[in-house]
Amino acid sequence: MKTKPLIGKAVIAQSGGCTAVINQSLVGALEAARRTRQITHVWGSWHGIEGILNDSFIDLKTKSPRLIRDIANSPSAALGSSRYKLKEGEASRVIAQFKKHNIRYFFMIGGNDTASTLLRIANAAEKESYALKVIHIPKTIDNDLMETDHCPGYGSNARFAAITTQEASLDTKAMQRVDPVKIIELMGRNSGWIVAASALLKKSDADAPHILLIPEVPFEESKFIKQVKQTLSRIGYCIIVISETIRDAQGNRIGSKTNGITSDPFGHQYVEGTAARLASMIEKHLSIRARFDKPGTIQRMSMAYISATDQQEAFQAGIHAVKWSLKGMSKVMVGFKRKPGKKYAISYEPVPLEKIPNQERYLPEEFFDAEKGMIRSAFKRYALPLLGKAIKSFAALKS
């Protein structure tokens, strides 16, 4: 017996930290949804799950193709984002809203916490016997989602990290008689994927970065000071790239925030001043000037460092989410699987949503040498294709 097609509206929402390619996924899903009769309307929810609870929607189908194309190539989240955690009973409220508007397809672009939210909503729909297709479109610069080769947003952030580290290196090399140490503090929550990317253009021991500090490897002050001193003696200047969430052996974050709002609604701790603290350590022990740069949220949505590969894959993730929902799939995330062979290529495969929440994928040992504090060649083979088009090397004079 042939099953009747599920006909109704679709809602697309964006959640979590914004990226340079999150709108590519939005537009990919919109374009795919526009081409089918099963989806009668495509609505955007303002500010993630909050828009659904507050009955705050925008009809995306009425927007001009030119505007939609421009949005795809714009940074940040066009629909507005959110880190709202559903309270007890609110998943049922979401389903009530869906029933009210005959919303049968729900696509949400986000990371780990988004997966958790979607799973709660999908389970609530099943409990109430409401036919609803729920698809998770992945997004996170942290690159820490399970069951996928990598995440949309990471490639562009990695490109930013790799290029800006080389730019900072040339500046510090030139200014080494005044400012011989530069610390660059990058994001990444509990994993070192972004920090590792800062070394992707390093070709020799003398090239920056010289020291990498990631959350997976406990920070030791004495070892750190020794590394800085040796690097200065050997090279003359020192570029250090750190994660904002590095920890000591007891698990305490070096840059933990102690006053004001200290964590987000999902319990993730905010950090502040990690690079500043390390700079103070260096000045105290070595009596030299240590400067630091903290690009913060700028790094995750910089269009000047965009990866075309990242853009294309994010767009395709949105398309596949809609295609799969129309085939009857639900409670899955769009996963990326790398194809074997020398030439980089991926396939898109559905991952059961239950496998995603409350887990994080850390930088593996085969990608990072903890003793040397530096990436391995295997990481370069993994990450370089994600940066997109080749990056030209900067020129330098030699004596």
Kindly report, residue by residue over 158-178, the tens digit of the pLDDT: 999 999 999 999 999 999 999
Do 257 and 194 lie in one domain? The reply is yes
Contacts of 203 (CB under 8 A, 6+ apart): none
**pLDDT tops 70 at residue 25:** yes
Cα 264 from Cα 270, distance rounded (Å): 7
Range(s) of the domain holding residue 81: 8-152+305-355
Between the alpha carbon of residue 92 and those of residues 43, 124, 234, 280, the distances in Å are: 20, 6, 63, 51
Looking at residue 30, which CATH number applies to its domain?
3.40.50.450
- Say if residue 264 is in the same domain as residue 198: yes
| Residue 20 confidence class, pLDDT cut points 50, 70, 90 | very high
pLDDT of res. 259: 53
Query: Taking residues 23-35, what's their average pLDDT?
Result: 97
Give the β-pairing of 290-293 and 211-213: unpaired
Tokens of 60: 């995306």
pLDDT exceeds 60 at position 2: no
125 and 188 belong to one structural domain: no
Quick check: is 182 in a domain?
yes
Q: Assess contact for 209 and 199: CB atoms under 8 A.
A: yes
Residues 135 and 110 sit within 8 Å (Cβ to Cβ): no
| Helices 308-326 and 154-174, axial angle in degrees (round to 10) | 170
- What is the number of residues in the chain? 399
pLDDT > 70: what percent of the chain?
A: 95
- Write the pLDDT tens digit of every residue in 67-87: 999 999 999 999 999 999 999
CA gap 217, 213 in Å, rounded: 7
Look at residue 398 and tell me if it is in a domain. Answer: no
pLDDT digits (tens, 9 = 90+) for 311-369: 999 999 999 999 999 999 999 999 999 999 999 999 999 999 999 999 999 999 999 99
What average pLDDT does this structure show over 195-216? Answer: 97
Single-letter residue type at 203: K
Q: Which of 113, 142, 144, 310 is catalytic?
A: 142
Helix (H) or strand (E) holding 211: strand 211-213
Could you give the CA distance from residue 185 to residue 284 in angstroms, rounded to a whole number?
20
- Asked whether the bond before 209 is cis by omega within 30 degrees of 0, the reply is yes
Q: What is the pTM assigned to this prediction?
A: 0.94
Active site residue 293: no
pLDDT, tens digit, 9 for 90 and up, residues 264-308: 666 656 556 899 999 999 999 999 999 999 999 999 999 999 999
Predicted local distance difference test score (pLDDT) of residue 4: 79
Q: Is the pLDDT of residue 256 over 70?
A: no
Query: In this structure, are 211 and 102 located in the same domain?
Result: no
DSSP string, 130-151: ---EEEEEE--TT---TTSS--
Residue 1's pLDDT is what? Answer: 45
Cα separation, 287 vs 342, whole angstroms: 48
Burial (0-12, 13-18, 19+ Cβ within 10 Å), 235: middle
Of residues 48 and 398, more confidently modeled:
48
Residues 163 and 139 grouped into a single domain: no
pLDDT reported for residue 273: 82
Q: Kindly state whether residues 166 and 191 are assigned to the same domain.
A: yes
